[in-house]
Homo-oligomer: A and B are copies of this chain.
Amino acid sequence: MNSLLKDTTVGLSLPQPYLLFLGDSTELGFAKTASGLVDWAPDRCIGEFGLAGCTVSVGLPRMTPAQGHAAGARALVIGVANQGGFISEAWVAALVEALEAGLDIVSGMHSRLETIPALADAARRTGRQLIDVRVPPPGIPIGTGRKRSGKRLLTVGTDCALGKKYTALALHRAFVARGIDADFRATGQTGIMIAGRGIPMDAVVSDFEAGAAELLSPDAAPDHWDLIEGQGSLFNPAYAAVSLGLLHGSQPDLFVVCHDPSRTMVLGLDNYALPSIEEVIDMTIRLGSRTNPAIRCAGVSLNTSALGAADAETLMRSEAGRLGLPVADPIRGGPAFEALVDACLA
């Protein structure tokens, strides 16, 4: 178990600090790796680097690779994802520029850096490293559905990229602040970069998806909590397989539904309406009860980043009343979030 997790223990051994690459992104939702690092590992991030067409920012000083290196950066982290996790052709020249400026490249994309000839050549020529974080450990077993000891909470969502990782990290921080023995379990590239370990669940072969989730949160002390980062959505026509394998294998006692009230359609699929929070609760209980009949919804995490403080407060209260559940925005924190933590531990 530990040796397998150690294979993905890359956080502390990654060259740092980071310059964050934002590519040609025009939608902040696709820059979640960069955003996550800025919010949860700010001491490792010194600047951002976007192409000419890039219209998003994660609030760091803009730097070229050469300026970043001069400011102390040792790696360019690909902080942006497109649909499918491919390295875009349009990025390659900039990545070569980074290698030539003396930076290693850290990637959580599906496609391996070394398979791109221009990058492999430049890395050899400059003596720099190409580091892929999105590589599952070897020897993942088939799932068994066996009940494990310890307690588990999984964040689920109405869609991708709306707060499942943030919510699990914030709950982990809050649990630890209350003196509870807890681990954050990372399931995606950014989470792994933040936590220093985890399993990139969307890169696991589908037959082993539930088994990988079982491996991720092993038997633990009865009062230990695993806060497991969710992936995708059961209602996403591209990624639901990842979500269901993670749900079955995590066998969560609790789940928190993550939702962005400003989003009405599935990210990147404009012909698919977002499911309602109630639909997600119902489907998660129906499917999750297969491996944990005691599964229940602890509450809702609303991503209110598109709203002002007063509007956010009003919305959270009305949603809490409507659903009969604690509703909070972990980024805003406050009493609503403490009430959500209370509900998890009740």
Interface residues of A (CB under 8 A from B): 83-85, 110, 141-146, 201-211, 234-235, 237-242, 244-245, 248-249, 269, 271-272, 283, 286-287, 290-291
* 27 A–B contacts, CB within 8 A, in A order: A84-B141, A84-B207, A143-B239, A144-B238, A144-B269, A145-B238, A145-B269, A145-B271, A145-B272, A146-B271, A202-B207, A205-B205, A206-B241, A207-B239, A209-B241, A210-B237, A210-B238, A210-B241, A211-B238, A237-B291, A238-B248, A240-B287, A240-B290, A241-B245, A244-B244, A272-B290, A283-B286
Smallest beta-carbon distance A237→chain B, Å: 3
- A204 to chain B: closest residue by CB: B206
Q: How far is it, in angstroms, between the C-alpha of A288 and the C-alpha of B143 when the chains are bound?
A: 24
Q: Is the CB of A206 within 8 A of B202?
A: yes
- Assuming the contacts A84-B142, A203-B205, A205-B205, asked whether A210 and B239 have C-beta atoms less than 8 A apart, the reply is yes
Smallest beta-carbon distance A138→chain B, Å: 11
- Assuming the contacts A110-B207, A204-B206, asked whether A83 and B244 have C-beta atoms less than 8 A apart, the reply is no
- Assuming the contacts A205-B204, A206-B202, asked whether A240 and B235 have C-beta atoms less than 8 A apart, the reply is no
- A241 to chain B: closest residue by CB: B245
Q: Is the CB of B206 within 8 A of A143?
A: no
Cβ 8 A contact of A207, one of B242, B244, B272, B287 = B242
What residues on B are CB-neighbors of A208 within 8 Å?
84
Q: How many copies does the complex hold?
A: 2
- A85 to chain B: closest residue by CB: B207
What residues on B are CB-neighbors of A283 within 8 Å?
286
- Assuming the contacts A145-B272, A235-B290, A283-B286, asked whether A240 and B210 have C-beta atoms less than 8 A apart, the reply is yes
Q: Is the CB of A237 within 8 A of B144?
A: yes
Q: How far is it, in angstroms, between the C-alpha of A110 and the C-alpha of B244 when the chains are bound?
A: 21
Smallest beta-carbon distance A203→chain B, Å: 6
What residues on B are CB-neighbors of A141 within 8 Å?
84
- Assuming the contacts A145-B269, A202-B207, A286-B283, asked whether A244 and B240 have C-beta atoms less than 8 A apart, the reply is yes
- A146 to chain B: closest residue by CB: B271
Smallest beta-carbon distance A84→chain B, Å: 4
- A213 to chain B: closest residue by CB: B241
Smallest beta-carbon distance A187→chain B, Å: 11
Q: How far is it, in angstroms, between the C-alpha of A244 and the C-alpha of B290 when the chains are bound?
A: 15
- A212 to chain B: closest residue by CB: B206
Q: How far is it, in angstroms, between the C-alpha of A241 and the C-alpha of B244 when the chains are bound?
A: 6
What residues on B are CB-neighbors of A211 within 8 Å?
238
What residues on B are CB-neighbors of A242 within 8 Å?
206-207, 209, 241
Cβ 8 A contact of A209, one of B201, B206, B272, B291 = B206
Cβ 8 A contact of A201, one of B110, B143, B206, B249 = B206
What residues on B are CB-neighbors of A291 within 8 Å?
237
Smallest beta-carbon distance A117→chain B, Å: 16
Q: Which 9 interchain pairs have the tightest Cβ spacing?
A: A241-B245, A145-B237, A202-B207, A143-B238, A84-B142, A209-B241, A206-B206, A241-B241, A206-B242
Among A204, A207, A237, A249, residue most surrounded by chain B Cβ atoms (within 10 Å): A207
Smallest beta-carbon distance A141→chain B, Å: 7
- A136 to chain B: closest residue by CB: B205
Q: How far is it, in angstroms, between the C-alpha of A119 and the C-alpha of B146 when the chains are bound?
A: 34
Q: How far is it, in angstroms, between the C-alpha of A241 and the C-alpha of B272 when the chains are bound?
A: 21
